[in-house]
Amino acid sequence: MKIEAVDFFYLSMPEVTTEADGSQDALVARVAAGGFVGYGECEAAPLPSIAAFVCPMSHGVCRPVGASVLGQTIATPADIARIAALVAYDSMDLLQAAHTWSGVEMALWDLLGKARGEPAWKLLGYERSHRKTPYASQLFGDTPQETLEWGKAQRVAGFRAVKYGWGPIGRAGVKEDADHFMAAREGLGPDGILLVDTGQIFDEDVEAAAARLPALEAAGALWLEEPFNGHAYEAYGALAKRSAKVRLAGGEAAHNAPMAKHLIDYGGIGYAQIDCGRIGGLGPAKQIADYAAAKGVTYVNHTFTSHLALSASLQPFAGLEGHRICEYPVKPKPVATAFIANPIARDANGEIAAPDAPGLGVEIDEKSFRPYLLDVEIKVGGRTLYRTPAV
Amino acid sequence: MKIEAVDFFYLSMPEVTTEADGSQDALVARVAAGGFVGYGECEAAPLPSIAAFVCPMSHGVCRPVGASVLGQTIATPADIARIAALVAYDSMDLLQAAHTWSGVEMALWDLLGKARGEPAWKLLGYERSHRKTPYASQLFGDTPQETLEWGKAQRVAGFRAVKYGWGPIGRAGVKEDADHFMAAREGLGPDGILLVDTGQIFDEDVEAAAARLPALEAAGALWLEEPFNGHAYEAYGALAKRSAKVRLAGGEAAHNAPMAKHLIDYGGIGYAQIDCGRIGGLGPAKQIADYAAAKGVTYVNHTFTSHLALSASLQPFAGLEGHRICEYPVKPKPVATAFIANPIARDANGEIAAPDAPGLGVEIDEKSFRPYLLDVEIKVGGRTLYRTPAV
């Protein structure tokens, strides 16, 4: 099969706010080859990501992503790896390329799986897709009372695990944060799995993060996620050594496999959170799943957008039975749910799994793009490089 | 002063080829505040970089660079650092942001220096601008004979140091590469400073790179630059331990200060090569200059574009007397020279220095943009987000 076309659809809510909710827009990539169509989703700023696919070449290693993808043949997973290596080398000076490529790479697994009648996780080398315990992923409330109520609501909704993120944490004092952690525990009940995400708020201030550890431990938090910016390996490493019970989680910002490995090796994280829509797709994510498993680190998906991204994110660790927790966006915006014809539902036990259907196993309803589709037109030197395709 | 406007000019040669020559296009950033104008240059793919400045927000930490810059007040270097921190946090999920911001940050130092009547290196805390030994930076020839001739030509042109890069190295065998290294030495003469850049060709294959060490040592190369991809700290570290005389150089791909520090700490490089047009501008580059000096590592600029970028790249280590070698693009394309009214010329000793004039000390002739200016128009949802400004 020859890759004949790659199209991008920039979908967005009519109004995008400053809340830390990545489901307010979506960039869907569609790949066509050999009569098959595959879909993927970049977890990325749509406009720069489209630009990185269509831009003119700047020099030999600053080529657009499209130059490495269009016209390539694809028959096996090794072809996807080959194209990935081409993108990495020929676009080494195009920073955004990794985010653009991530959605395209996903779409290639989807397409290849459909062509071969096999789920992506099988193509990745797994025998079966184990069920996972989804955690409800949501923001902290503005007040501890709100945090408590939301925890209760998730318990009622059948979630055994809840992750709270961002919001007021780290912006007021240690006491205020502790109140939120305890409220979260209270709302969740004594047996719930409590996960806390502080959204890089401490940058690389180890003391500020460490000051939150006693309350996190008292609240029985399983992990503390992203206390620091994604490059602060030393801060991660120092905090990991100071935390007896609460393990660190991080990795969502990794836009290549080495970044995630470094966070494991130098940062001492206990949970590697990989976003397939950023790290370069399923291939490098699977590398990290293998690496994490070998190092006694638990692999977890990072997903805050659609169930297309969710399915993609489940594939790389679908076969790792012991890596059970998975992120499950609970309150995605309508733009992220509208175009998924068959969302990944929780079963009677409240669990989910990567679909057994070919490819990513997610049916995309392109007509449902329409109310959210942003028309984009990019012209350079009088030539139209991109125009939103008709749906 | 309030930042009133940021404009981008995408300049390009009529034809861009796949050679590893970053001077084939340029993205100039112009900032206006308080009646002053500053210029900078992103060492980046122009279209995605423009897109990263003007794109719609995706969520709270995926905002366009423009949102953190426009309307900000600027009076001191601390203001530049403050805006940098804002960009880093509010655009943490926008990968291209670092490249976009790099050119804007440069322009802010230029503007601030002009407003205060001081060169940027003085604003960075240096007492004086020491003279540097420029190395002629060029590609290896297709044949050893070509490599030899080019070395001779640079010697005649008065360069004491020459760096050869990319071309055939690593693409044929160890013997072929050795022939090029020896030809370079022969062309350069016994006293010349020989630098070798292999452009990430060995990815992370330590053995392949190590196989080139004996010939590099025999040719008396001072450094081996970028044997591996910029994230391969382990490969760098392993090779550094195996190289008795030839020290490793790297860092040009660093798009933030931690990346460069990690290459020093984990990769064991002896020369930290920083491109101000990628790392986030002069501020983080100065951090790395300080860090390198403290660690016994030599700071070197990475510059393969215009003398606007060259001046910017000299500022962060202008005051470090012992860090003498600097990159000096010898054969830039006309697009990179046309708009510089006062290029940084070598003195009678063949040396250069960061200018003593206010800001970056480089006069930009906007009229000379015209033959190279690519008209760009970006529309999203019916709104024009960017159109090339008139010059």
Q: Please check the confidence at residue B28 and state whether its pLDDT lies above 90.
A: yes
Q: What pLDDT sits at residue B184? A: 95
User: What range does the domain containing A149 cover?
Assistant: 133-337
**A318, A270: one domain:** yes
Q: What is the distance between the alpha carbons of residues B132 and B317, in angstroms, rounded to a whole number?
A: 10
Structural domain includes residue B354: no
Q: How confident is the model at residue B329 (pLDDT cuts 50, 70, 90)?
A: confident
Over residues B348-362, mean pLDDT: 97
Q: Do the Cβ atoms of B96 and A22 come within 8 Å?
A: no
The number of domains in chain B is 2
Give the C-alpha separation, B282 to B110, whole Å.
10
Residue A100 CB burial class (10 angstroms; 0-12, 13-18, ≥19): buried
Nearest to B95 among A10, A18, A96 (CB): A96
Buried-exposed string A276-315: b where 16+ CB fall within 10 A, e elsewhere:
bbbbbbbbbbbbbbbbbbeeebbbbbbbbbbbbbbbbbbb
Would A348 be classed as within a structural domain?
Answer: no
Q: How far apart are CA A247 and CA A270, in angstroms?
A: 5
Residue B290 and residue B192 share a domain? yes
| pLDDT for A20 | 82
A143 domain residue, yes or no: yes
Output the six-digit token pair for B380.
């999203």
Residues of chain B in contact with residue A336, where contact means CB-CB under 8 angstroms, are none
Share of chain B above pLDDT 90, in %: 94
pLDDT of residue B166: 83
Residue B15: list chain A partners with CB under 8 A. none
Residues of B in contact with A64 (CB under 8 A): 45
Q: Which residues in chain A are closer than 8 Å to B137, comparing Cβ atoms?
A: none
Residue B89 has pLDDT above 90, yes or no: yes
Beta strand B133-139 with B161-165 is parallel
What does the block give as tokens for B70? 């426009």
- Which two structure tokens, joined as six digits, stand for A148? 């408590």
**Token pair recorded at residue A46:** 């749509």
Question: Given CB atoms, is A171 within the 8 Å cutoff of chain B?
Answer: no
Residue B138's pLDDT is 82
Chain B residues 213-252 within an 8 A CB cutoff of chain A = 229-233
Residues A101, A138 within the same domain: no
Kindly determine whether residue B44 and residue A95, on different chains, have CB atoms separated by under 8 Å: yes
Residues of chain B numbered 363-382 and touching chain A (CB < 8 Å): 374-382
Residue A137 confidence (pLDDT): 83
Model pLDDT, residue A331 = 83
Across chain A, mean pLDDT equals 96
Q: Verify whether the Cβ–Cβ distance A58 to B16 is below 8 Å.
A: yes
Q: Strand locations in A192-297, DSSP E?
A: 193-197, 221-225, 247-250, 271-274
Residue B230: both structure tokens together: 């910029």
Dihedral through CA B320, CA B321, CA B327, CA B328, nearest 10?
Answer: 120
Residues B294 and B373 occupy one common structural domain? no
pLDDT of amino acid B244 = 87
3 state SS of A345: coil
Burial tier of A244 (Cβ tally within 10 Å: 0-12, 13-18, 19+):
exposed
Note whether A88 contacts B229, CB cutoff 8 Å.
yes
ipTM here: 0.95
CATH code of the domain in which A61 resides: 3.30.390.10
Inspect the interface and report whether the beta carbons of A51 and B56 lie closer than 8 Å: no
Single-letter amino acid, residue B169: I
Question: Are the C-beta atoms of A80 and A105 separated by less than 8 Å?
Answer: yes
CB-CB under 8 Å, B232 with A20: no
Q: Length of chain A, please?
A: 391
Instruction: For residue A379, list chain B residues with Cβ-Cβ distance below 8 A.
Output: 375-378
Interface test with A, best of B59, B89, B101 (most A CBs within 10 A): B59
A303 and A182 inside one domain: yes
Q: Does A13 lie at the interface with B, CB-CB under 8 angstroms?
A: no
Q: Work out the average pLDDT over B173-185.
A: 95
Report the alpha-carbon distance of residue B375 to residue B383 in Å, rounded.
17
Task: Return the structure tokens found at B53.
Answer: 């400045």
Let me know whether A323 and A204 are in one domain: yes
A160 assigned to some structural domain = yes
Q: Interior CA angle at A94 toward A92 and A95, to 5°?
A: 95
The dihedrals phi and psi of B10, each to the nearest 5 degrees, come to -95, 105
Same domain, A115 and A139: no
Residue B351 in domain: no
Report CB contact under 8 Å: A52, B57. no
Per-residue pLDDT, B139: 84
- The reply to whether A357 falls in a domain is no
The CA-atom distances, in angstroms, between B160 and each of B149, B166, B247 are: 15, 20, 19
pLDDT tens digits, A29-69: 999 999 999 999 999 999 999 999 999 999 999 999 999 99
Residue finishing a domain among B296, B318, B337: B337
Report the CATH number that the domain containing residue B286 is assigned in CATH. 3.20.20.120
Return the closest-CA partner of residue B298 out of B266, B261, B270, B262: B270
- The Cα of B363 is separated from the nearest Cα of chain A by a number of Å equal to 24
Task: Tell me the per-residue pLDDT of B271-296, one tens digit each, with 9 for 90 and over.
Answer: 999 999 999 999 999 999 999 999 99
**Closest among A341, A319, A163 to A252, alpha carbons compared:** A163
The segments of chain A whose pLDDT lies below 50 read none
To the nearest whole angstrom, how far is the Cα of A183 from the nearest Cα of chain B? Answer: 25
Last residue of a domain, one of A300, A319, A337: A337
Select from B54, B1, B56, B11 the least CA-distant residue to B32.
Answer: B1
| pLDDT tens digits along B93-141 | 999 999 999 999 999 999 999 999 999 999 999 999 999 999 998 889 9
Residue among A21, A375, A381 whose CB faces B375 most closely: A381
Q: Are residues A206 and A244 in the same domain?
A: yes
Residue A35 near chain B (CB below 8 Å): no
d(CA B105, CA B121): 14
- Of B20, B43, B266, which has the smallest distance from its Cβ to A61's Cβ? B20
Among B9, B236, B48, B208, CA closest to A49 = B48
Q: How many residues does chain B have?
A: 391
- Range 180-199 of A in CB contact (< 8 A) with B: 199
A133 shares contact with chain B (CB less than 8 Å): no
Q: How confident is the model at residue B41 (pLDDT cuts 50, 70, 90)?
A: very high
The Cβ of residue B354 has, within 10 Å, a number of other Cβ atoms equal to: 31
Same domain, B234 and B300: yes
Distance from C-alpha of A367 to C-alpha of B15, rounded to nearest angstrom: 40
The candidate with the shortest Cα–Cα distance to B252, out of B279, B221, B224, B274, is B274
B104 and B144 share one domain:
no
**Cβ atoms of A48 and A378 closer than 8 Å:** no
Which residue in chain A is spatially nearest to B387 when comparing CA positions?
A379
pLDDT at residue A330, as a whole number: 81
- Identify whether residues A160 and A225 lie together within a single domain: yes
Quick one: A251 and A294 in the same domain? yes
pLDDT value of position B100: 98
Domain-located, residue A166: yes
Nearest-CB residue to A16 (from B17, B56, B199): B56
Whether B343 is in a domain gets the answer no
pLDDT at A139: 84
Q: Which of A333, A13, A19, A300 is nearest to A163 (CA)?
A: A300
